[in-house]
Structure 1
Amino acid sequence: MTSEFRKMIRILNTTVDGDRTIYAALASIKGIGFSLANAVLKKAGIDRYKRAGELTDEEISKIEEVVRNPAMPSWLFNRQRDPVDGKDYILVGDEVTLAERRDISVMKKIKCWKGIRHSLGLKVRGQRTRTTGRSGRTVGYSKREKG
């Protein structure tokens, strides 16, 4: 059990700044927001205003255990009703990216509207495309000649 202050610590396979509060440090991990960070710290029994660098190895393992085996309401989870097995999960770090990539590839495969938009590289969620989201040359604008 270490009690000295550490500038960088490793939580859930992510390097976190030790100067930040553990509440903000957990929220900086991909897949964990402020609400989930607050719930995890309450469940683990750790003060949310404690600096991340002051955590002991035991407290870090307790946080990781709560995230891996959560006993919380499912509305806090970031992966509800997984299409593969129908369970609720908390995905953290690279798991979030992999699940997102897998979901997009399934949408492309079944050729749903969102899948078609993803495959064409267009806006997916109903945004305007007439004037925004352009790449390449500017359209509809020309400079006046100096003369």
Structure 2
Amino acid sequence: MQVYGVRIPKNKNIFIALQALYGIGSSLSSFILNILAIDPTILVGRLPNLERYKIIHFIESNLPLENVLKHKMLSDISYLKRINCYRGLRHKLNLPVRGQRTRTNAHTRKFTRL
């Protein structure tokens, strides 16, 4: 099964396998399966074709995923940088953005490892 160019693993149950898509977590996965009335414990390989097409059609028609979400995130960050707000400046300088401590920690954000 393939959605947005991402191959869904066949040996996992559908609840876990949907989370392989960028933008779908556990709550959204259970919401999709509840809306479509599909058992979340069934394996993807044993899923009937009709239910596969229902899932693919629902996801592709109703949810922005993968590249759309990644592009939105990058455009939001570039907007913050362009208006020179505090968060944008922190992004420009490769420093932690959300108020984390930088005196002793934040080495992964501040420096590149050798």
| Same structural fold, with TM-score higher than 0.5 when normalized by the shorter chain | yes
Deviations 1:31-83 (A, max 9, x none): 0011110110111121111101122333222112323444xxxxxxxxxxxxx
Counterpart residue identity of residue 34, structure 2: K
Equivalent residue in structure 1 for 2:67, among 83, 94, 109: 94
Which residue in the other structure is 1:86 paired with? none
Q: Residue 106 of structure 1: CA displacement?
A: 0.5
Q: In 2, Cα distance between the equivalents of 1:58 and 1:68?
A: 15
Structure 1 unaligned residues grouped into runs of 5+:
1-8, 71-89, 138-147
- Mapping of 1:113-132 within 5 angstroms? 113-132=86-105
Q: Which has the higher helix share?
A: 2
Is 2:21 the partner of 1:48? Answer: no
- Structure 2 CA distance, aligned partners of 1:95 and 1:52? 25
After TM superposition, the runs of 4+ consecutive aligned structure 1 residues lying more than 4 A away are none
RMSD: 1.8
Q: What whole-Å deviation, never above 9, does each CA across 1:83-131 have from its counterpart, x for those lacking one?
A: xxxxxxx331122211110100010011111111001110000000001
State the alpha-carbon separation in 2 of the partners of residues 115 and 136 from structure 1: 20
Match of 1:67 in 2: 59
Partner Cα separation in structure 2 for residue 136 and residue 97 of structure 1: 23
Give 1:19-30 correspondences, 5 Å limit: 19-30=11-22
1:33 is matched with 25
Bigger radius of gyration: 1
Confirm or deny: 8 A CA contact 1:12 1:64 kept in the other structure.
Answer: no
Distance 2:84 2:8 in 1: 39
1:67-86 paired onto structure 2 within 5 Å? 67-70=59-62
Identity of aligned residues (%): 33
